[in-house]
Amino acid sequence: MYKQMKHKLVPLLIICSLILTFLCSCGQEKEDNTEYVAVVSAMDNEIDLLIKEAEIDRVDKISEENYYVGKLSGKPVVIVKSGIGKIRAASVITSLFDNYKISKLIFTGIAGGVADEVKVLDEVVATRLLEHDYGIMSNEGFVWRSGDPGFGNQDGVYYFCDSEMVELAYSAAVSVVGEDRSFKGTIATGDQFIASEEYVERLSRDHDAYACEMEGAAVAVVCIKYRVPFVVIRAMSDKADGNAHESYENFGDIAANNSSRIVIKLLQSL
């Protein structure tokens, strides 16, 4: 009896094994060897127009974030919202590089104007970025220190954007908003929404900053570690002064759309 059952079970087990193997192979996704340009912004209103204009093939959900995969301006792209602040930005950029073949990265969105000549709705393309909130807090107050050595220049103060992408982004900005509203320069990053004339003056005096925001330098650090060329493009929603909150409410969406239009133009030249 045992031998008869054994003879019947063996073919059945083989068939079940073959079926299971087939089902598993059908469920496996093909490896994606496409090289993508990553387009990242911190907030929904900063990527809304980009998603609307893109041809989205699929939406991948990774660690609760939606990664929109498709084409924009004819280029393969992955569009994602990073969330606000340095920690969230660095986390999402790392996830991007670990899950997709990213050839270039564009970070876009709104910021506060710092330089006197930079007005609301102007555009600033970062040539370099720094962390303005990196330092030591003591009883005497805050003392700024340079960032992590080995990323920017020799003392580690600055994180430099890709020079070719900077020039292409600046040209795109000029074509969208005009030369008188387009700037290239230093952008200062910190985990604060700046609404202080005194602090703006310090950022201008100490760092020669054109704008301030909350993600760019963190994005730069990850891109440099992964050796991915990148650029940061910012539209001014406010002047980072006492009226910053009101100005942001009035001009935030317009500024975000302007930057999105520049990204669309930039992608055409990449």
Separation of alpha carbons 267 and 270, rounded Å: 5
238 is catalytic: yes
pTM of the model: 0.82
The per-residue pLDDT for 243 is 55
Alpha-carbon distance values, 150 to 31, 59, 146, 217, 219 (Å): 34, 36, 11, 14, 16
The residue annotated as part of the active site, out of 131, 213, 238, 241, is 238
pLDDT higher at 144 or 133? 133
- 261 pLDDT more than 60: yes
> What is the per-residue pLDDT across 81-100, written as a single tens digit (0 to 9) for each?
999 999 999 999 999 999 99
The per-residue pLDDT for 15 is 52
The residue annotated as part of the active site, out of 35, 46, 167, 246, is 46
DSSP codes, 223-240: HHHHT--EEEEEEEEE-S
Q: Which tokens belong to 175? A: 């074509």
Q: Mean pLDDT: which of 11-25, 108-122, 139-153, 246-260 is highest?
A: 108-122
pLDDT band at 6 (very low <50, low <70, confident <90, very high): very low
> What is the per-residue pLDDT across 156-173, written as a single tens digit (0 to 9) for each?
578 999 999 999 999 999
pLDDT band at 239 (very low <50, low <70, confident <90, very high): low
How many Cβ atoms from other residues are within 10 Å of residue 78's Cβ?
22
The per-residue pLDDT for 152 is 46
The CATH topology of domain 34-269 is: Rossmann fold (3.40.50)
What is the sign, positive or negative, of the torsion defined by CA atoms of 85, 129, 178, 55? negative
> What is the per-residue pLDDT across 41-79, written as a single tens digit (0 to 9) for each?
998 888 999 999 999 999 999 988 999 999 999 999 999
Ranges of each domain in the chain: 34-269
Nearest of 167, 155, 150 to residue 224 by alpha carbon: 150
Amino acid, single-letter form, for residue 131: E
Of all residues in the chain, the percent with pLDDT exceeding 70 is: 79
Separation of alpha carbons 12 and 8, rounded Å: 7
Which secondary-structure segment (H or E) carries 127?
A: strand 123-131
The per-residue pLDDT for 51 is 95
Mean pLDDT for the chain overall: 84
Separation of alpha carbons 187 and 109, rounded Å: 13
216 within 8 A of 185, measured Cβ to Cβ: no
Radius of gyration of the chain (CA): 24
46 is catalytic: yes
Nearest of 96, 46, 82 to residue 255 by alpha carbon: 46
Q: CA angle, corner 50, sides to 48 and 55, nearest 5?
A: 115
Alpha-carbon distance values, 268 to 35, 50, 58, 70, 123 (Å): 16, 14, 22, 15, 19
